[in-house]
Structure 1
Amino acid sequence: MPVGQGLVKMWRDEGWKGFMRGNGANCIRIIPYSAVQFASYSFYKKNMVAMEGEKLPPSKNLLCGALAGITSVTFTYPLDIIRTRLSVQTADFSHLTEAQIKDLPGMWRTGVNIFKTEGGVLALYGGYVPTIAGVAPYVGLNFMTYEFLRIHLTPEGQKNPSSYGKLLAGAISGAVAQTCTYPLDVLRRRFQINKMKSMGYKYKSIFDAIRIIAAEEGFRGFYKGIVPNLLKVAPSMASSFLSFELARDFFVSLGDDDA
């Protein structure tokens, strides 16, 4: 379904609330996720630098970003599953009564239901392996591309690029990383909803999922939904990198003033 038609359908079926479905879980997740990701990236980067002030090569920035992605996902993965389930469970309201719509579980009930009916703690980490397989290269490419662009967007003689330069570097890095790793993101989302009764597929393994998607949906199946994802990822990563750098510079300046 095209992006425009999907937005119209969501508005018709759910109204404004449909656009915000699962956003509570997403907001609760994104705070620790982003904090752990940027903090762990700085930690890994610092420990790979042999001398203070040394700039890492792109390959090491890629590795540090990949490790940061794995670290952040490990800490927040259950919230990611809950967010995905909340978004998917209301994909089609046509067969539900008004009472059933009102009785749809929220964030807490969804988590408890997964825990009780699908296998305990392990169920809250369902699809963890394909998620790591997708997140590690995605975050690695994101940081590597951002670091590269950030340097080249810095006019000679300036210490840092402007805020617009940082926004541009973040948007491009997010778009590049998302495009390169999107098939892995498709696998991640499929496995997160693999046990939902309303889904028409049950994948036994990553390779089984790849085989079925390729046979039934072709190459396009691995890039289904990439346009709305790019519309989300580019501004999201642009604002994330800019916010991180502004916050870091602010706290560094506070430390300098205290000294």
Structure 2
Amino acid sequence: MPNSLETFIKQDSNMAFIAGGVAGAVSRTVVSPFERVKILLQVQNHTTNSYNNGIFNAIQQVYREESVKGLFRGNGVNCLRIFPYSAVQFVVFEYAKKHLFGVDGAGGSPQQLNNWQRLFSGGLCGGCSVVATYPLDLVRTRLSIQTASLANLKHGRAHNMSRPPGIWHLLRRIYREEGQVVGLYRGVWPTMLCIVPYVALNFAVYEQLKEFMPPQDGTAERYWKDNVFKLSIGAVSGGVAQTLTYPFDLLRRRFQILTMGNNELGFHYTGVWDALKTIGRNEGFRGYYKGLTANLFKVVPSTAVSWLVYEMVCDGIRGM
């Protein structure tokens, strides 16, 4: 590799972008069936539960109705979204560490961010990544439910079920029919309420757990090369962060599909506070966590794989 290109890739921001993007795409593809089922569980209302016999039965139902392609419905746009989404997070986190708080780890420096700095940097990562990729997240959600057997979704589903609408068709239609740019960012507020604290907690918990790793043969560095350890703390950080912020993840999905068809899915919210009250009144406390189990099946391995792939790609680039 030419020295100039090698130097370019090894720059912290570029390395973080490449490693973060690859980590996001790989991790989301691995858990795509759980992601699809989670969204279907989130958007069905309490009167017409079509996917209500457990996670794996729901996956089998999707497979019976739509074959293998159905299990990965929306994954293409999800990878298209997740590469810049994940890449932006890692780039912004590295930028915040170095330029906002003066921590770059150069020369083996032991200096680390404290917990509030980690939370702030992680929250900044989450906000920037949402703004950069939200329209693709909106389209991914719509694609995930277009072909599903939600009995009360008629006008909102594709007219020709053998050829559901594609990414660019949906983007154009939403832009044209739902308020242009405003339509493309429908649901961005509850998404921010979900993603900002989620990413903040994910980064903060992960970085904190790295400091707790026990030394081996007198050097923590050798132990840190253990991939099982990286997977474990990545899984814990993702599980903790998602469980604490899950009600807002449910809200963002519902706001993203409010205008599909003629409001046939039965959700009528005037805002975030109204949605929280309505869900509590109609669906009880469990309504806030509908689909959580499926989400944890997705988030825990996804976050674990994402952190592991990120660390491995970074190590590989540094070793060039």
Q: TM-score, normalised by structure 2?
A: 0.75
Partner of residue 55, structure 1: 112
Partner of residue 38, structure 1: 90
Secondary structure of 1:15's counterpart equals helix
- Cα 1:130–1:93, aligned 2, differ >3 Å: closer, same or farther? closer
**Kept in 2: contact 1:150–1:165 (CA 8 A):** no
Residue 278 of structure 2 is aligned to residue 212 of structure 1: yes
Choose which of 198, 220, 225 in structure 2 pairs with 1:158: 220
- Cα 1:51–1:171, aligned 2, differ >3 Å: closer, same or farther? closer
Supply the distance in 1 between the matched residues of 2:246 and 2:85 (Cα, whole angstroms): 20
- Cα 1:67–1:98, aligned 2, differ >3 Å: closer, same or farther? closer
Alignment-mate amino acid for residue 62 of structure 1:
L
Give the RMSD, CA atoms, in angstroms: 1.9
Q: How big is the shift at 1:12?
A: 1.7
The structure that is helix-richer by fraction is: 1
Moved more, 244-253 or 128-137: 244-253
Alignment-mate amino acid for residue 110 of structure 1:
L
Residue 289 of structure 2 is aligned to residue 223 of structure 1: yes
- Cα 1:224–1:195, aligned 2, differ >3 Å: closer, same or farther? same
Supply the distance in 2 between the matched residues of 1:48 and 1:99 (Cα, whole angstroms): 51
Choose which of 108, 116, 134 in structure 2 pairs with 1:77: 134
Supply the distance in 2 between the matched residues of 1:51 and 1:239 (Cα, whole angstroms): 26
Q: Which has the higher contact order (CA 8 A, sep 6+)?
A: 2
**Kept in 1: contact 2:97–2:103 (CA 8 A):** no
Residue 191 of structure 2 is aligned to residue 134 of structure 1: no
Contiguous gaps of at least 5 residues in structure 1? 255-259
Q: How big is the shift at 1:127?
A: 0.7
> How many residue pairs end up in the alignment?
254
Q: Percent identity?
A: 43
Q: How big is the shift at 1:93?
A: 6.8
Partner of residue 90, structure 1: 147
Runs (4 or more) in structure 1 with deviation over 4 Å come to: 93-99
Residue 317 of structure 2 is aligned to residue 248 of structure 1: no
- Cα 1:219–1:157, aligned 2, differ >3 Å: closer, same or farther? same
Choose which of 144, 150, 160 in structure 2 pairs with 1:100: 160
Q: TM-score, normalised by structure 1?
A: 0.92
Partner of residue 9, structure 2: none
Alignment-mate amino acid for residue 304 of structure 2:
A
